[in-house]
Structure 1
Amino acid sequence: MNTLNQGLVIHQNTETQDFSIELEFGKIKILSAPAPIDDRVNQDACGARLFNNMLLLCLADGMGGHKKGEEAAHIVMDELIFNWKPNEVPNLEKVLDRIENAHNQIKDLKSRSGSTAVVAIVEYDKVRFINVGDSTGYIFSSQKNLKFKTIEQSPTGFAVEAGILEEEEAMIHEESHYLLNSLGFDPLRIELSNTLELSSKDLILLASDGLTSNILQEDFAELLTQRADSTPLQSISTKAREKMLKDGHPDDLSLILFYQ
């Protein structure tokens, strides 16, 4: 198994996988679960890599059918987690170049596949988010308050951001599964946040839409910030799976949590 300095990834799993790592400047928890569908292979991929004192977190949600979606998400992980030269330290420009490389490689598959991508670049008490598609990045305070959220690049995501739809309405909207932006399809639009300051006990969360399609933000923030719960991602995954099996949207679910 690779170390965090070499890059750690969960992908193409048929059962829920998770791991937790403690660093000098924080803790990482990652969980990825395939949709509760018979013989499902996870098309999400999520990973982390440590470069000196910089942490790169990346989550991708592959689309385009079974093998096609897997391959698209795999390309994202290769570009952003694995294919760095020894002693190479990413900067913002290099990460953006890698995202464009992944976009072009997915296009070259000529299979109509695609992938979302959400990236967090963490350096001590600062973070910057990059996103394409409807996978999301968040900062929550330890008191469950939302401090930052990337915008989901979908009709319902923009409608919620504009106040046209409530979050509950977006979850059941007929266009909830549509995307307006994806790696592998032109024109590509990469959204970039400002550099954001992290306060003590802030939580960074990256999530695929298996979360936002099934659990309200208020509810998963509650689970995320329960300090007595040492396995918050498992608690969220269990709640999402219950919703999927009842009356929700069965989908792969991936979560990356970082906190200090």
Structure 2
Amino acid sequence: MATASPQKIDSHLYLESDMVAPEWLPLTSRIPPIGNLVAFSRRCPGKEEPNDDSAAIFHTADDGIVLAVADGVGGAPLGYKASAIVMQCLSEALAEIETCRELRPAILDGIEKANAEILDMGTGAATTVCVVEIRDRVARGYQVGDSMALIVGQRGLVKWKSTAHSPVGYAIESGMIDEQDAMHHDERHLVSNLVGSRSMHIEIGPAVPLAAKDSIVLASDGLFDNLHLEEVINLSRVGRPLHRMQSLIELADARMNASDSDTKNPGKPDDLAIVMLTP
């Protein structure tokens, strides 16, 4: 009996990137068109060390899409290597699956393999990772840490939002604090769950059917710590694909460079990685 061979995947990895402009990847499937993909990743303004954030886009031969963002823990040794490892492990795992097989086992295997490799480094390195798979116009998210994903409808309805694995993220989810208070919380920088930890766990989101005009945003906390959730929602659903991404980048830059006297809006200089799927 013939055995299926591993499928070819189209991989776009953004590791230690310091991009000056977003990259647009027009993407079409056989039937119907999938949409447009846009990616951006760059270092914190004024930072000399490598970008700790990584991003990736994978397109399988049978039209599956996997989007991923990772944020190497700032201040930890080799955070940039940890975030790169999880992207590379995802790429290897997805390349090994057979055509028409589910993407979930490969995604889980890739994250687990990355966790083992980072632990084996023995340097204390760690990273977040947020992944969204799209297949047959159904999306599903995977989460470790506080990098986040949103699925937004054309009129601004949030169809799904990942929960940040952090004390503040859990407090928002439970209703103890709101998004506005969370932006200025003293413990917003703390993360409860990381790739590179023996206690790592992967949260798997629900299957979310996608409408033709839905948008998906994945980003590190360089975006979500600098923009209010409503701002991300509104900017990510209006305009051409590159315009949407550029609007997010410009507002994040403005907040990162704002004076400390601006107490109304958030502002925290940081590395930034964003991946979007738009109509």
Q: TM-score range by the shorter chain?
A: over 0.9
User: Which aligned pairs between 1:160-239 and structure 2 lie closer than 5 A?
Assistant: 160-227=172-239, 230-239=242-251
CA-atom RMSD in angstroms:
1.9
Alpha-carbon distance in structure 1 between the residues aligned to 2:242 and 2:163: 29
Q: Which amino acid aligns with 1:47?
A: A
Which residue does 1:243 correspond to in 2? 255
Alpha-carbon distance in structure 1 between the residues aligned to 2:241 and 2:194: 35
Which residue does 1:256 correspond to in 2? 275
Q: 1:150-200: CA deviations, max 9, x gaps?
A: 100000011111111121211111110000000001211110012111112
Which residue does 1:78 correspond to in 2? 88
Contact 1:10 1:17 (C-alpha < 8 Å) held by counterparts? no
Q: 1:46-98: CA deviations, max 9, x gaps?
A: 01111121011111111153761111011011111246547745621121111
Out of 32, 41, 44, the position equivalent to 1:35 is: 44
Contact 2:77 2:125 (C-alpha < 8 Å) held by counterparts? no
TM-score (norm: length of structure 1):
0.92
Which residue does 2:13 correspond to in 1? 9
Relative to structure 2, which stretch is displaced further, 116-125 or 11-20?
Answer: 11-20
Q: Which amino acid aligns with 1:153?
A: H
Gaps of 5+ in 2: 1-7, 29-33, 261-266
Contact 2:38 2:242 (C-alpha < 8 Å) held by counterparts? no
Alpha-carbon distance in structure 2 between the residues aligned to 1:63 and 1:37: 18
Out of 131, 134, 138, the position equivalent to 2:150 is: 138
Contact 1:14 1:40 (C-alpha < 8 Å) held by counterparts? no
Which residue does 1:63 correspond to in 2? 73
Equivalent residue pairs, number: 257
Out of 18, 23, 30, the position equivalent to 2:27 is: 23
Contact 2:35 2:277 (C-alpha < 8 Å) held by counterparts? yes
Gaps of 5+ in 1: none
Relative to structure 2, which stretch is displaced further, 161-170 or 151-160?
Answer: 161-170
Instruction: Note closer, same or farther for the CA distance 1:19–1:82 as it changes in structure 2 (3 Å cut).
Output: farther
Superposed structure 1 runs of 4+ greater than 6 Å apart: none
Q: 1:83-114: CA deviations, max 9, x gaps?
A: 65477456211211111110111111111110
Q: Name the larger-Rg structure.
A: 2
Q: Which amino acid aligns with 1:209?
A: D
3-state secondary structure, aligned to 1:181: coil
Contact 2:97 2:106 (C-alpha < 8 Å) held by counterparts? no
Alpha-carbon distance in structure 2 between the residues aligned to 1:157 and 1:135: 11
Q: Which amino acid aligns with 1:29?
A: V
Alpha-carbon distance in structure 2 between the residues aligned to 1:7 and 1:229: 20
Alpha-carbon distance in structure 2 between the residues aligned to 1:79 and 1:239: 32
Which residue does 2:264 correspond to in 1? none
